[in-house]
Amino acid sequence: MTATITTAPATPLLRTALKLDGYATLPSGVLLAALAGMLDGPLGIPTGVLLGAGLFFVAWGAAVLYAGTRPTINRRAAGAIATINLVCALDAVLIAALGIGDLTTLGTTLLLVLAAGVAGIGGLQFLGLRR
């Protein structure tokens, strides 16, 4: 049995959405990891969670940027990236809505703003896949 990787020439929208995602996520992760100790109090999120999220965002941003800069974009990878973005956005909304943890008002607001941005990027990625 052989596996087939589905590729297609990338639409400008898909390529741009993937690159925008990577260029936003990677440096955000660096800042989050570097400032985790300072942000825990104002956001109500433990330092370890912020540090772990920041390091994950660095790796995720690099992977998404890599996917978006290939000469031919792997459609399965792009679909997985878009799906994960939408699931993460929904997860963030649920965390905020259910009051999970000790989020401050600033932490809740930031989480919801980030969820909106991630959902928007995921939506653009799906739109780019459909073209």
Residue range 76-102, pLDDT digits in tens: 999 999 999 999 999 999 999 998 889
- For the entire predicted model, the pTM comes to 0.87
Average pLDDT over residues 106-124: 97
What confidence score (pLDDT) does residue 6 get? 56
69-90 residues labelled b (16+ CB within 10 A) or e (exposed): eeeebbeebbeebbeebbebbe
Q: Which residues pair with 74 in a beta bridge?
A: 7
> Do the beta carbons of residue 14 and residue 78 sit within 8 Å?
yes
Q: 6: which 2 tokens?
A: 């589905």
Higher-pLDDT residue of 1, 100: 100
Identify the DSSP state of 30.
Answer: H
What confidence score (pLDDT) does residue 127 get? 97
Q: How far apart are CA 9 and CA 128, in angstroms?
A: 11
Question: Residue 60: pLDDT band by 50, 70, 90 thresholds?
Answer: very high
- Residue 7 reports pLDDT greater than 60: no
Q: 73: which 2 tokens?
A: 């974009």
> Do the beta carbons of residue 54 and residue 32 sit within 8 Å?
yes
- Residue 2 reports pLDDT greater than 80: no
High-pLDDT (> 70) share of the chain, % = 92
What confidence score (pLDDT) does residue 77 get? 97
Q: How far is CA 67 from the centre of its chain?
A: 13
